[in-house]
Amino acid sequence: MASLFVYGTLIHPHILSRVLAGTLRRPSLEDPSTRRFSHLRVVPALLPKYKVYRVKGQEYPALAPVDTAAETDGSEEIGAVVRGVVVSGLSDAELAALDLFEGDEYTRATVNVLVASTDEAISNDVRSSWNAETITEILESTLPAERVQALLSGKEKSEKQQVQGYLWVADASDLEDKDGPRGPWEFSTFAKGKLSRWTSGEWTDAGGPDGVEVQEETPPQTPVVPQGASAGGFDEIRRTMTGGQDGSTPSFNTGSAFSGLTLGAGDDPWADPAPSATMISPSATEKSANPWASNAIAGSNGQDGDAKDGTSSSSFSVPREEIPEGYPLELEGWQVPGYETFGKPISRWWPHGVKQGEAATQRRYLSFNNGSLGSCPKPVFEAYQSFSAKAEDNPDLFDRRIAPPALKAARTRVAEFLNCPASTVAIIMNSTTGTNSVVRGFPWEQGDHVVVLSSLYGALEKTFEYVQDTYSPKPTLVRVETTYPLSHMELVDKFRKQIRDLKSDGKRVRMAAFDAISSMPGLVLPWEELVQVCREEDVYSLVDGAHAFGQIEVDLGKTQPDFFVTNAHKWGYVHRSCAIFHVPLKNQHLCTSGLPTSWFYRSKAERESVKEKEEGNDFIAQWDYPGTIDYSSFLSIDAALDFRQKIGGEARIRSYNHSLALLGGLTVARILGTELLETSPPSLTAAMCNARLPLASRVVGTDPSAWLTSKGSTWLWSRLLDEFNTYLRFTCHNKQVYARISAQVWLELEDFEYLGRALKELCRRINAGEGP
């Protein structure tokens, strides 16, 4: 149970009880818990070194620390001490309701209060009959100025307590002190003019409906948030209680751009406590109930809990017209006749999923970082192990007779998958290896320019920097600044304009490099259109498609890039590491060496004298035999593509991951009170979404990139691993911090809900000064 220092509107028991009940609707005789909470203990208290401010244009106040408390003498004119009450006995569910009410303008942090040793808790009977005058009288009589000074100076014995408090973290320019045009914020002034609107006008100021005695009840432990409470909607929730700035009748069905994203009929992620801050070990999950489970997802038919087969809902139970334009209405491909259900059931094929024979509620690790390392299912891992075992049984036989035809078969299979000739495909270690080969081996000439997007994968940009530092002649790098969200059409236009502007200035654009899906943040780019622009402008196109294989459809025969690399282990279920390097025959002479350079390198004289063959040319040979390597991962391609077919095929996998990324991402954003990095309608999301973190600029700075690089990112992912048994990558874009979240078939909406709660808790710590 937690204790909270209350100083403003929440001092009034009717307002506090409505928030704790989580109803945010008009009180009724059938819902007495909205009026008073007998289990709570309330004691008058002082908060030194803080000050209450007015908020411009609002009726509620803000609490912020003062620069110094050297002159704290008990006088509220100085403003270095705040009078209020400590409310004890709050459950996690009630704190969640308070978090929602306070919104992203405030953060819940630990503060040090003083409670007089002789003061007793205010009884529930007294609190239930409080009105505005009673509250003012009790605070003034219990904590008059002279007693405040005695408590602060130590003349009267007091107890120092660490409790929670909501501190202002929004723009400081929105605050007015006592010298402002409206004077200091005082509860008595607020009560006279505004209180009736905050209590919906249905309650007498004496505590309840006239002439009706309401029995006390233990409050519900699951506060219910109204449909319409949504990402970025905290101000609207406060306006729900006040009736708006214009004094109009309160409306209790408010909404916002994301108002249709309530999960289930009457259920909500805020209804459950935040995730435990204690790491849940695999052994613990085997012995107890599912630590990840939540009852906040309603079935697609509107019923609470799990579906009949023990799996969670695949859709939002809200009217279709309330789903934002362009977003899926349900998890597409979740259940397909004849195939295993995605989510927990299919997760049994991965080591971090549900073990066969165990309850479908058990998890070992929530993998949200598929975009970095990928994860191969058990049948693929077994195929990998089988090839590795054969190599150990007889290394020479494997190297001379087994590996060569198996590699050729793997190239043929993956070439069919990508719709290109097998003679144009090499299997390599990773995408960065392939881009290095292109950039380092390309015959640069004096005056060459390379156009890149500013969101280009960092390792590829570093490769260009290396060439600029060491080569002569060397290309000049020209960046197209890309600030997202940016529509595909806008990006293509900027890209084309940059190339044409350089040409009009008499400069030669030799190559352009861009991602198919950018890494950080993880966004789908119009790479096929960019390739077409390069072809029209007679510019070589180098596409880093590290995230493309298995995440989006790739048709190289149709797109015809000049150089294309993609990782098969990230999204294709192939054992890591394994990548595909595609170079059309017409361009293979430009890739002069594999990495490392080895026996099949041909000198310039040899290349000019030998006509390249359609099959078995030096491009393929250089990558097939770069030295002694383990081919086992390369040879797991067949098993991976077979597995993908057996669980429903490419269209099913891609559609499920895409819809889960969008709906799951909005779930996370809704819990955080932020938004996704996305256009409207959405065009930047495939199976990765990017949710903004609500971090206070006073903590991370106005441009948090330095904070994130130096300490923020490490702290965040370390806490996720150690305390919440998951992991994410974080990036800074346009002066905002985003979490990149990968969707995969082993995940469900409730997993994203859990992640949102974990992120919210970490952001709270950072904003409260408890982070790095």
Mean pLDDT value across residues 226-240: 34
The C-alpha atoms of residue 169 and residue 55 are separated, in whole angstroms, by 12
* 64 CB-side CA count, 13 A: 20
* 304 shares its domain with 423: no
> Which pair of structure tokens corresponds to residue 302?
């509107």
For the full predicted model, state whether its pTM sits above 0.85: no
CATH number at 334 reads: 3.90.1150.10
* 193 shares its domain with 314: no
**Residue 375 belongs to some domain of the structure:** no
Q: At 423, is the secondary structure helix, strand, or coil?
A: helix
pLDDT band at 189 (very low <50, low <70, confident <90, very high): confident
Per-residue pLDDT tens digits for 295-351: 222 222 222 333 333 344 454 444 466 578 889 988 999 999 889 999 999 999 998
Per-residue pLDDT tens digits for 70-124: 333 333 334 578 888 888 888 877 887 788 788 878 888 888 888 876 666 676 5
* 538 shares its domain with 473: yes
pLDDT at 264: 28
pLDDT band at 445 (very low <50, low <70, confident <90, very high): very high
540-544 vs 50-55, strand pairing mode: unpaired
pLDDT at 206: 34
The C-alpha atoms of residue 535 and residue 537 are separated, in whole angstroms, by 5
Provide the 10 A C-beta neighbour count for residue 264. Answer: 25
Residue count of the chain: 772
**Residue 268 belongs to some domain of the structure:** no
Instruction: Bin 255: left if φ > 0, else alpha if -120 < ψ < 50, else beta.
Output: beta
* 426 shares its domain with 536: yes
- How far is Cα of residue 118 from the mean position of the Cα atoms in its chain? 48
> Which pair of structure tokens corresponds to residue 403?
């590996």
Provide the 10 A C-beta neighbour count for residue 231. Answer: 24
Q: Which of 581, 614, 645 is the last residue of a domain?
A: 645
Q: Are 674 and 693 in contact (CB under 8 A)?
A: yes
> Which pair of structure tokens corresponds to residue 660?
């889960």
Q: Which of 609, 628, 645 is the last residue of a domain?
A: 645
* 394 shares its domain with 477: yes
Q: Tell me: pLDDT of 244 over 60.
A: no
Q: Tell me: pLDDT of 415 over 60.
A: yes
**Residue 63 belongs to some domain of the structure:** yes
**Residue 62 belongs to some domain of the structure:** yes
* 431 shares its domain with 546: yes
| Burial of residue 421 (number of CB atoms within 10 Å: 0-12, 13-18, 19+) | middle
Q: Are 124 and 41 in contact (CB under 8 A)?
A: no
* 632 shares its domain with 588: yes
**Residue 435 belongs to some domain of the structure:** yes
pLDDT at 94: 80
503-522 burial string, b = 16+ CB within 10 Å, else e? eeeeeebbbbbbbbbbbbbb
pLDDT at 36: 43
Which range has the worst mean pLDDT, 11-25, 46-60, 230-244, 420-434? 230-244
**Residue 127 belongs to some domain of the structure:** yes
Q: Tell me: pLDDT of 224 over 50.
A: no
* 155 shares its domain with 56: yes
The C-alpha atoms of residue 144 and residue 652 are separated, in whole angstroms, by 69
Q: Are 708 and 737 in contact (CB under 8 A)?
A: yes
pLDDT band at 624 (very low <50, low <70, confident <90, very high): confident
* 122 shares its domain with 163: yes
Q: Are 43 and 129 in contact (CB under 8 A)?
A: no
pLDDT at 144: 78
The C-alpha atoms of residue 187 and residue 135 are separated, in whole angstroms, by 9
Sign of CA dihedral 658, 664, 670, 671: negative
**Residue 245 belongs to some domain of the structure:** yes
Q: Tell me: pLDDT of 50 over 60.
A: yes
* 19 shares its domain with 163: yes
Enumerate the β-bridge partners of residue 269. Answer: none
Q: What is the 3-state secondary structure (H, E, C) of 82-104?
A: EEEEEEEEECHHHHHHHHHHHHH
Mean pLDDT value across residues 16-22: 72
For 24, which DSSP code?
-
Q: Tell me: pLDDT of 170 over 60.
A: yes
What residue numbers bound the domain in which 348 lies?
282-364+650-767
CATH number at 514 reads: 3.40.640.10
CATH number at 194 reads: 3.10.490.10
Q: Which of 212, 238, 256 is the last residue of a domain?
A: 256
**Residue 9 belongs to some domain of the structure:** yes
* 18 shares its domain with 135: yes
Max Cα separation, the chain? 105
Please name the residues in contact with 70: beta carbons below 8 A apart, sequence gap of 6 or more.
Answer: none
Cα-Cα-Cα-Cα dihedral of 250, 253, 256, 259, to 10°?
A: 170
* 442 shares its domain with 465: yes
Q: How many domains does the chain have?
A: 3
Q: Tell me: pLDDT of 279 over 60.
A: no
For 246, which DSSP code?
T
